[in-house]
Structure 1
Amino acid sequence: MQLFPSIPLADWKDSKETLHRFAQIVGKVRLAAGVRRNHWWNVPYHLTGRGITTRPMGLVDGNPVFTVDFDFVDHRLVAQSIEGGSAAFSLLGHSVASFYDRTFEALDAIGVKVTIDHPHPFDIPGDGHPFSSDTAHATYDPVWVNRYWQVLSQVNLLLEKFSSGFSGKISPVHHFWHTFDIAVTRFSDRVVEQSPETDPVTREAYSREVISAGFWFGDDAFPEPAFYSYVAPAPEGLADQPLRPPSAQWLEQRGSPLAVLRYDDVRTADNPMGNVLDFYETVYQAGARLAGWDVERLTCPGGITDPYA
């Protein structure tokens, strides 16, 4: 398998938009049936050897323990309960509306009853259609979807490697169905004061100072895949800090600086993984020092805190 294979947004945009909505449907099942965690850690997907998983949920809501997995090798959605029930169907040939119906049929078949509060896309610009009536998004190219999973899997382990150098509060590596990116976030213990008018998703996500590192596949605003990193809230002077490698740059995103390293610049470099890790580290070092984090105390070389190891 090639490291960082080509995945230009234009070549699979229609499939990505359909898959994004599929992921939101199952993600909202996870939101309804899982236990809430700080900073929404309960909501995102985790990677498996064949795709992505909701992880086990249920029990506390009266349902059996169950999981819903996307299998991007055989291209199926698989719902399973701890009691041995299993239901699956092919991901090919579905509109968002038919996928929505089949998903709830599969859950019903394993004895799971879940109601999602708002069965519409979340924060997808220009799309307020209910999932149940969306027949416009119906493209699923298994070659490109498998490629997406290959890239996702490689970045997942790269972010795990980056995570190993930090001993403070840090999220798991998460694949978010909201923005369809994959990220890991480091936290300080400093509370961030926010306005009551701030939306509740943002208030929970950014209730503490964070430095986040991740990757997204591109969208209309930035139509190409890229690695990214940001600090929230952004300390004064952050965008003036140098970045490595030289191809990385600061962009303004929603009024704050966002560090971006284009995927196509990385995949043709002599040391792709080293370039990305260096990029993440330069943003972290700049942001943490400007924000007054105790960088030395939080350092965890090689994932080891044992002083004798």
Structure 2
Amino acid sequence: MESNNAKIPTRPKRQFIDENLMVDSWEKIEVYFKSLLDREINSVTDLEQWMLNRSELESVLEEEQAWRYIKMNIDTTDQKLAKDFAFWIQEISPKVAPFSHQLNVKLNSSIYLKELDNEKYRIYLRGLQKAIEIYRDENIPLMVEMETKQQEYGAIAAKMTVEIDGQKMTMQKAAQFLKETNREKREEVFNIINNRRLQDVDTLDQLFDELIALRQQIAKNAGFENYRDYKFAAMGRFDYTPADCYAFHDSIAKEIVPIIEGFDKSRMDKMGLENYKPWDTSVDASGKAPLKPFEGGEDLINKS
């Protein structure tokens, strides 16, 4: 296998957080939050350095949470990985939230704030000030509960498997059969997949209803009529409104949907079908067999 001599980027050396930090307790990261809160800021240069250190802390924590989430979803049967993620959601995130709010307030109240480059920091500070505005202590346990239920929802979906031709497989792998040229096979697999989903429909519906109630309460606590408006603020959507989204949806329905329907009609005609079904949307319309660029992990690595 030929090498393309690509240079793999390396992570910059940390300036504030211990390179060997292992987050297995709140106490190991609490010290960094307290350091930032207690630090004296005597110039705009001090303030920018403080912001860089805070950014590094947040990046480390975000990466740690992301890896725990990824590993949990790679193997949903591994209880340790699930517990590692649950520990983060239930023990770390709730304690980070009030400290993050205090850091936001410290920055926003700094006498050196006005000396920061407005062009460089305007968008960041706009979001930070909105975060201060919508923060509520009473929402922290609700967010923990929401995250826990979202994890449960994802775990149920990730554990779903089906049996195709005597082989047990994930839903994602089974979906590859929807590219097969045999229409009867595609229909069979489509029904197997959807029947499997229906087995958990009551549990998932209940979880979804509970999540809606939690989200609505979070929004109400923060002074919003609904979760949509709350999330617009929380995600920093300052440059467009819900009304703009509705207008965009309407334009898609008017201009794009007819084009897609035309594509579907063209595919149906090319396939010689009198009706077009959900199991006909992924197969090659010209009758070509699905591509199989590799077989298994070793083959993928060898061909990379």
Q: TM-score range by the shorter chain?
A: under 0.3
Greater helix percent: which structure? 2
Q: Find the structure with the greater CA-based Rg.
A: 2
